[in-house]
Structure 1
């Protein structure tokens, strides 16, 4: 049987100067223990960003960058919100990291990703990637190669897994545990099958989710279902029937002012 490795923490400085704490999370580690190991133990409001940016129109992408660099980053900084996402240098997590850098933000930005799906920028590979058990023989998905970590994040959790989605439960639970009794919200932007899993988990944990319509793919499908256009996906139909409007709401990225979304977020986190 493969040996069990203990959780291992390293500090890694990216080429841009950002110092990040990176924890390889051992199987069986509880959420509170993992968070406290990297110093994330005080209750804080949390905002979880799920989804992607695939097949997104140029108009939607430009509007999203405005949102990330403006209302989302500045509000997170002002209210000391901890933001969580997938941690890789792609899609909305890339936008989130660059938005923190854009405003010279100091808020915690936490990425959670499967250990076997990430690579580090540059030549330096932290020691926590050494000694991975060679008896583990499951192969990478050749159609979905590993992705670099986004270099403006402050903390990373690398959890066991070869496939995207291995991190979904950790992301959802981390956001709840870290928030405690403080406000906690999720934004769904674009996204595919893994994001549908994320959405389901977040709703089951009682979290409010804003669907960013106009960003494409899953977000638009959920928004269309809410507006009465039923997709073939029974899971989405069930989620809308169960959680709308108590936990699900829609923001139209292309038809509504970003100030309205800023006001929604500000009111929720200031409540």
Structure 2
């Protein structure tokens, strides 16, 4: 790329490079051209997705926490939908959760109670035999599985284009996932605030050192004005005294003896 020029990289909603009809990636990421400054910081905050980016060590911006909440909602819904569909005849789905916008991917924004469950078309699948028949009244295997799912460790997986591209972001209970997310957010806020305070402190020290050499001190200038005013008043009194002395010598000393 010629010196002094920058190309923009076009990304889709998922943050993936957009390709042309021949399969080539369009453009070059302008973000890579920024090494410091407020613009880089703002872009990192808005666009960086942390572990969800290709570069796993990237900054955890707003996108990271949005995707973590999406992952939480999707894993919760998938886990309980799978349990509630356990043992049902092939092709029969009694999902507990669905999407409010009709999409196939459940996120924190669109997760909702499945319409079939909300409309009482079906309820919780307490227990079902392998052949799909209803077991004796009182069987609660699926209910126990749901309770256990809340207490057991779950893999929270970021899905890739292929199964081989899947990445486990976190392993633990749903409660520990939320707790870990809260802790991570707190650490990020604390570290960012500490970094900002350090930068401000250094900037203030540099400014103070500069002002000590080249700036004008209002207190010092005020003291100088008072000093010069006193000096002027003293000089004026001296001139008045000399004037009075000359007046006496010229006009009065010659009168003696007349």
Q: TM-score range by the shorter chain?
A: under 0.3
Structure number with the bigger relative contact order (C-alpha 8 A, sep ≥ 6) is 1
Task: Name the TM-score, length of structure 2 as normaliser.
Answer: 0.22
Higher Cα Rg: structure 1 or 2? Answer: 2
Looking at secondary structure, tell me which structure has more helix per residue: 2
User: Which protein is richer in strand relative to its size?
Assistant: 1
